[in-house]
Structure 1
């Protein structure tokens, strides 16, 4: 094993460019083990660990000036404080990435579901117990744009408290009594949860037989979609056994024309 490596050799060993090592030398964060009279810079294998630490700290968004300060005055207590801080930062970033992945995966699943759906046809399916975060709207009449925005903002804040990402897959809930009366005013906005959480807005969808109905059209056609859903239930001899849930499976994230949106209506039913 070699004791000393020229700068180009050491750069290749570390997966860095020669220019990066020259920059580190200039700012004093990582100097060569020695410089020969010829001007060649030489590094030792033991410096590889320092390069690895610099890479990890840089990836955790630590400024080079802070890294330099630590390396020049390294001691155990300072190192513990620095690394504990970076561990917390990376865990927060990982949680944020997990939320983004969850949002994108849910949206992707919905798009695939919408692509495979048959609109205007009712189907029955057996579903296990599911969990939602459901924020009450408090609406007594159709909301203004401002009130709708405030309510959705409150819902997304609740989702964030539960570790959910952006609200790409928010839906609405129409209480059973309202639906049977033909009053299709949403009482809750909801987003799916991967499991139960401790939150006042936790909502449990019961296991059982559910009717699912896909409707193609824009949001302004939702009242007509709800009415068709209930008519189809009656035609099939099914009784609404719970609230009605609406969730987009294809919307503005997939198509530009609202007439091509696909809305999924579902509810627990009994024969």
Structure 2
């Protein structure tokens, strides 16, 4: 017996090899998921080298969020066929998690780019921007310039996007018809929109590639009417025909700036050749 024990690991040795605390091994023994191969008359526990592979499998399945009770069921009825079924299920779950992580990375990358743009963009200065073709999910707005109505319409727009399984890193934008840009009068939206890379949906509106006159302001919505008028004047002064709408986007919003007066708003007017 003493000679054979030289080929086994004590609880402490096995725990160090597996990079866990001894209490973890005690817990696994208590629930019957991994018990020591030998328990001496003195109560000492000994694990074999073959149990390292079992522990590794348990750890892998735990990392995949498989409950210990389910792991125990598998180990109690293990077979090559059962192992194949288990791996195929886990393979599918891993593939789904990879997709979720890829989406989350794209979301974070986009948010980072937008926020950095909000910190570096010229403020209250008109500049030109050439953009590629973009895709928008747009919903029409027929209400008045009333905050409660606008908030309800934005919520409905967001729900519509979610119904299409579209979750965008971009803040919801508004399309302001140039026909409503009148000095001394408040502007009104005609559409709310969300940028997307999903071009195949019937709900998608294509925003053609082209040049835009752009102006940003870091004082929220207070000077939107004034800036819109300046953009239209810029188009006229430089021999452009303005597009039908001015696009209103948020670069810094509640998540980064806090409070309407601190938002950074980006206003973009499509420039067409006269």
Tell me if both proteins adopt one fold, taking TM over 0.5 as the criterion.
yes
**C-alpha distance in 2 between matches for 1:157 and 1:223:** 33
- Give the one of 30, 39, 42 matched to 1:38: 42
**C-alpha distance in 1 between matches for 2:199 and 2:10:** 56
1:150 paired with 2:152, answer no
CA separation of 1:54/1:180 partners in 2, compared to 1, >3 Å: closer, same or farther? Answer: same
Q: Is the 8 A contact 1:32 1:43 kept in 2?
A: yes
For each residue in 1:153-212, what CA deviation from the matched residue of structure 2 results, as whole angstroms up to 9, or x when unmatched? 212333xx25x45x55332334xxx3245364132411242xx54322233332232322
What RMSD in Å do the two structures reach over aligned CA positions? 2.6
Give the length in aligned residue pairs: 260
Q: Could you tell me which residue of structure 2 aligns to residue 233 of structure 1?
A: 235
Q: Could you tell me which residue of structure 1 aligns to residue 184 of structure 2?
A: none
1:139 paired with 2:145, answer no
Q: Is the 8 A contact 1:103 1:169 kept in 2?
A: no
For each residue in 1:242-261, what CA deviation from the matched residue of structure 2 results, as whole angstroms up to 9, or x when unmatched? 64322111111112232221
Q: Is the 8 A contact 2:175 2:191 kept in 1?
A: yes
**C-alpha distance in 1 between matches for 2:210 and 2:153:** 35
**C-alpha distance in 1 between matches for 2:248 and 2:20:** 52
- The runs of 5 or more residues in structure 2 that have no matched partner are 1-5, 182-186
TM-score by length of 2: 0.82
CA separation of 1:187/1:122 partners in 2, compared to 1, >3 Å: closer, same or farther? Answer: same
CA separation of 1:4/1:83 partners in 2, compared to 1, >3 Å: closer, same or farther? Answer: same
User: What's the CA shift for 1:107?
Assistant: 1.9
How do 1:113-262 residues align onto structure 2 when only pairs under 5 Å count? 113-130=117-134, 132-139=135-142, 141-142=144-145, 143-158=149-164, 161-162=165-166, 164-165=167-168, 167-174=169-176, 178-182=177-181, 184-193=188-197, 196-219=198-221, 221-241=223-243, 243-262=245-264
- The runs of 5 or more residues in structure 1 that have no matched partner are none
Answer with 1 or 2: which has the greater Rg.
Answer: 2
For each residue in 1:84-107, what CA deviation from the matched residue of structure 2 results, as whole angstroms up to 9, or x when unmatched? 333333333333333333323222
Q: Is the 8 A contact 1:152 1:189 kept in 2?
A: no
CA separation of 1:138/1:126 partners in 2, compared to 1, >3 Å: closer, same or farther? Answer: closer
